[in-house]
Structure 1
Amino acid sequence: MWIIDWFFDVLANLGLLNKHAKLLFLGLDNAGKTTLLHMLKAINKREGSGTEVSGIVFLVDAKDPERLPESKAELDALLSMEELSKTPFLILGNKIDHPNAISEDQLRHELGLYQTTGKGKVPLDGIRPIEVFMCSVVMRQGYGEGIRWLSQYV
């Protein structure tokens, strides 16, 4: 029974308790998507009706700068899709625990994300929420703040 209590505590801490949202985890291979899913323990095994996505979590490997142009191309393609024009995007720069990881400013520059929504609670006024958070999934750092930010908009 303690595992159920723990699971609900995690969801509440991340702002996802009592939320009915479909989050899509995207990113290049080896960016940390599967690891993050296992850390959150929030894999939804039910098939929902419809294909509407409530939010996108896009992971980028911050220690692999050679693949940043490829990440940018994928992200740009997603951001330009009309069906995702109102979908909030959380960009997670993962693997900051690695000594060669780039900074948040460098990641923003490489991805062309100079102006984003802001990390606080921001009224939308028709603007799609998009923000960058740096994290280390394996060290359990940073992604919680990002997921809490995203939960405001789903």
Structure 2
Amino acid sequence: MGDTYTTRIQARYRDINLAGHVDNVEAVRILDEARLEFFRFAPLPDLPAGRTGLLHALDDGVSELVASQAVEYHAEMRFVPYQPFLATLWVSRIGGSSFTVGAEIRVEEGGAPAVAWECATVLWDRGAQAPWPISERVRSDLERYLGDPVAMRR
């Protein structure tokens, strides 16, 4: 397995439902926030000056679009003040113009995953209004984080 990216995401009071745990929709919001952080700040060696993150080598006018998501909830995510959730992300598939990010949320360090998630992302050329073929540089960066697909129960 390649590298993984782990970040801490603090739940907010608005994320909590009447039962006192993080609502299922808000769990996906936490994962999406971690995904964007992964794209913008994942460490890579030898980045050009002023460039950061996994997608630093995208051409101008290219953005990422969510194509699909699969999520499984394995355990309750109770809100604890000042205790962030741990999101670990990696790339689980690389295609011609898309790739899939795998992720897990843990409630505490060393704990079992509370949520498992896969998110297919299409690189989109806004000018051409078409998928952008993944360049060799972007593919190389994605491969640094390439790992196994998320273990889903399905």
Q: Could you say which structure has the higher strand fraction?
A: 2
TM (normalized to structure 1)? 0.26
TM (normalized to structure 2)? 0.26
Q: Could you say which structure has the higher helix fraction?
A: 1
Computing the radius of gyration from Cα coordinates, the structure with the larger value is: 2
